[in-house]
Amino acid sequence: MKIVAAVLLALTLVSPARAERIEVVDLAGRAVALDLPVDRFVISEGRYIPLLALLRPDSPVSGLVGMMSPLGHTQPELEAQLFRRFPAARDIPLFGRGSADSVSVEKIIDLRPQLAIFGLGDHGPGARNAELLHQLQAAGIAIVFIDFRQDPMQNTLPSIELLGQLLGAPDRAQAYGAFYRERRARIEQRVRQSKQRPTVFVQAHPGRFECCWGMADGMLGPFVGLAGGRNIADAVAPGPTAQHTAEFLLTENPDVWIGTASGTVGEYRQGASPVALGPGLGAAEAADSLKRYLSAPEFRALDAARSGRAHAIWHNFYNSPFNIVALEAFARWIHPELFADIDPQQTLAAIHREFLPFDLEGTYFATVPRD
């Protein structure tokens, strides 16, 4: 009896340390086998830290032993919040800078991760970067690709669920998935009931890039169709995004104009031209920034700009697990009568309240007032 007890005790002591081998298929369609639990991993871009926080709100960066670029590259204010609450996040080593070319494979290997998490079409190493993938695999590092950018509507939840599984937080991933699915289903259902398809132009980086870079079937472009609109750039653009003339915009005269604002509060206060949204910006300032941009003569002649149907949305939603708020915003703007009860700002607040260890600061949506 004593022997049996000893063996059982030994087993229970050993089993947590004993690795569980699992096999998953990542978002690039690659079959990946690795041992759980994952105690050490790296990510390509710091912008995936909010996702890590969603899965593990008490310790978002535990186990994160390196990343290519810091969160501050895209969200400096959120990074400051992260550093305040989780000081360990300051010391995460970087193995590159802004692009895949800057990645040091040697540095990654030296960081001894079990797992490297990269994104499809993000700024880090891509799935076609065979040499780098081969080198990492040879060093015993498993690689999985997630995706919030190439096909955000299809890949967002599978990406979150995959990481939930690998990082030991499947229930958190499930909970967020339910939250997300419920909201998406509501939009899909109501859009199906409506015959109307208002025309929409989604302009990337208004004020930063010259007029008019449209999102066709890339980035936030496909959200237009899901939200019940017709994306006018999609019919003419040869690629995922393309530059159109102001003339195209004036000729098509879309019912709804949506700019993806990449300006920051600092730029806005300096009087710079990029339409600004995001942390630190008040609602009035955000609306003013959009109004300032739309006061150019070619926009003054657009019906959307005069009738209160020109809007701005925070550019970073194009590569974000929280892109459901972009879909909600699009739906509300394209079909105000169908979606009067939907408030993307509230959804964003709910995501922060229920899923994230961060406070929501700033303004993420703006609408230019009717003339």
Partner 1 sequence: MTDGDPSLQRRFAAIRKRRWFILGLLGAGLLGCLWLDLMAGPAGLSAEQIVLGLFDPHGLELRHRIILWQVRLPDALIALAVGAALGLAGVETQTILDNPLASPFTLGVSSAAALGASIAIVLVPVLPLLPEAAMLPAMALVFALGAGVLVLVIVHYAGGGRETVVLFGISLVFLCNALTAALHYVADADSSQQIVFWTIGNLTKAGWPEVWIVAACLILILPFSLRQVWLLTLLRGGEAHARSVGIDVARLRFWGILRASILAAFAVCFVGTIAFIGLVGPHIARLLLGEDHRLLVPGSALCGALILSAASFLSKALLPGVIVPVGILTAIVGVPMLLGLLIGRRRQA
In the complex, which residues of this chain contact partner 1 (CB under 8 A)? Answer: 73-74, 97-99, 102, 123, 205, 208-211, 235-238, 242-248, 250-253, 262, 270-273, 297-298, 301
Angle, helices 344-355/170-193, rounded to nearest 10 degrees: 170
**Residues in a beta bridge with 200:** 231, 256
CB of 38 to partner 1, least distance (A): 28
SS (H, E, C) 94-131: ECCCCCHHHCCHHHHHHCCCCEEEEECCCCCCCCCCHH
- Find out whether 60 and 46 touch, Cβ atoms under 8 Å: no
The DSSP string of 16-59 is TTSPEEEEEE-TTS-EEEEEES---EEEEEGGGHHHHHHH-TT-
Specify the residue for token string 């065979």: 130
The residue among 191 and 204 lying less far from partner 1, judged by its C-beta, is 204
CA dist 346 → 101, 350, 352, 360 (Å): 39, 6, 10, 11
Specify the residue, 110 or 252, whose C-beta has the smaller distance to partner 1: 252
Q: Is the peptide bond before 212 cis (omega within 30 degrees of 0)?
A: yes
Q: Of 39 and 247, which CB lies nearer to partner 1 in the complex structure?
A: 247
Q: Which is nearer to partner 1, 319 or 347 (CB)?
A: 319
The smaller minimum CB distance to partner 1, of residues 127 and 249, is found at 249
- Minimum CB separation of residue 73 from partner 1 in Å reads 6
Contact 44, 120 (CB under 8 A): no
Q: Distance between CA atoms of 356 and 354, rounded to whole angstroms?
A: 6
Helix (H, G, I), strand (E, B) or coil at 86: coil
CB of 98 to partner 1, least distance (A): 5
Q: In the complex with partner 1, which residue's Cβ is closer, 113 or 274? A: 274
CB nearer partner 1, residue 107 or residue 205: 205
Across the strands, what pairs with 42?
66, 116
Q: Minimum distance from CB of 278 to partner 1 (Å)?
A: 14
To the nearest whole angstrom, how small is the minimum distance from the Cβ of residue 49 to partner 1? 16
Q: Of 72, 143, 152, give the one whose Cα is nearest residue 105.
A: 143
Q: How far is the CB of 231 from partner 1 (least distance, A)?
A: 13
Q: Is the peptide bond before 37 cis (omega within 30 degrees of 0)?
A: yes
Each residue of 136-161: b (16+ CB within 10 Å) or e? Answer: beeeebbbbbbbbbbbbeebbbbbbb
Query: Looking at beta carbons only, is 256 or 302 nearer to partner 1?
Result: 302
Cβ at position 114, least distance to partner 1 in Å: 28
The distance of closest approach from Cβ of residue 266 to partner 1 in the complex, given in angstroms and rounded to an integer, is: 10
Q: Which of 144, 141, 148 is nearest to 48 (CA)?
A: 148
Q: Minimal distance in Å, beta carbon 300 to partner 1? A: 8
Closest CB to partner 1 among 208 and 291? Answer: 208
Residue 95 C-beta: closest distance to partner 1, Å: 15
Nearer to partner 1, 175 or 211 (CB): 211
- Residue 317 CA to residue 326 CA, distance in Å, equals 7
